[in-house]
A and B are shown apart, each in its own frame.
Chain A
Amino acid sequence: AQSVSQHNHHVILSEAASLELGCNYSYGGTVNLFWYVQYPGQHLQLLLKYFSGDPLVKGIKGFEAEFIKSKFSFNLRKPSVQWSDTAEYFCASPSSNTGKLIFGQGTTLQVKP
């Protein structure tokens, strides 16, 4: 069955540190992947998305992700985090031929000022 997994559940960083959050998917065929962010008390927002083409995807707020097909991974990166990046991050993928999104378990990022 199609699945998405995130192996970092809780990450604590100091401001200016570099960030990498892991995401792995397990299905074949056409791969579409998303990263969403959920700031405290706010709605899920799309950070970036991969459909095809350049495996390095640039998103909003300085985030980027790299699709590595051989590793079934789509890790989220940011070179220098800020306190305002404190949030929960979700990797997700649409189920084949349906409208539903399959989410990973989420990673809580806490950035210390």
Chain B
Amino acid sequence: DAGVTQSPTHLIKTRGQQVTLRCSPKSGHDTVSWYQQALGQGPQFIFQYYEEEERQRGNFPDRFSGHQFPNYSSELNVNALLLGDSALYLCASSPETGYGNYGYTFGSGTRLTVV
């Protein structure tokens, strides 16, 4: 059991559509980060949410947006989907720390396929 729950596990979308991915963090964790893992690559940081605000952002276009709710769960939204957005999207949660990654727990991910 990862402790971090992501839904859905798999998703197929058409180019130009919009998608929302969901993440429930591990109990006791209040910081949520999202990563994109393309095939054959390491995960790439998208952004991090803490106290319902985006705290850090990686090199991703504005088509990628997110939200954190008062219960610490989070959503990742991607608009105007491109074929290149096909990837495994990982959610990671942690307790808030100065460096924020000592206690990262990852979910199993959502596999997004854009056709």
Contacts and interface: CB of A to CB of B under 8 A. Distances in A.
A70 interface: no
Nearest to A45: B106
Contact of B42 (A32, A95, A100, A105): A105
Interface string A81-103: 00000000010101101111111
Contact of A32 (B40, B44, B99): B99
Given A43-B2, A99-B56, A94 B101 contact: yes
A9 B108 CA distance: 22
B109 A99 contact: no
Instruction: State which size class the interface on B falls in.
Output: 20 to 34
A44 B99 contact: no
Contact of B99 (A45, A92, A99, A102): A99
Interface in B10-46: 31, 33, 35, 40-45
B87 interface: no
Contacts of A49: 102
Contact of A99 (B2, B33, B41): B33
Given A90-B42, A98-B56, A44 B100 contact: no
A106 B55 contact: no
B4 interface: yes
A85 to B, nearest CB: 19
A100 B2 contact: no
B42 A104 contact: yes
B43 A94 contact: no
Contacts of A101: 33, 35, 43, 45, 92, 101, 104
Interface string B45-60: 1001010000110100
Given A94-B100, A106-B42, A100 B106 contact: no
| Most central of A41, A49, A99, A102 by chain B CB within 10 Å | A99
B16 to A, nearest CB: 29
A92 to B, nearest CB: 8
A98 B90 contact: no
7 contacts: A6-B42, A42-B2, A43-B108, A99-B48, A100-B48, A101-B35, A104-B42
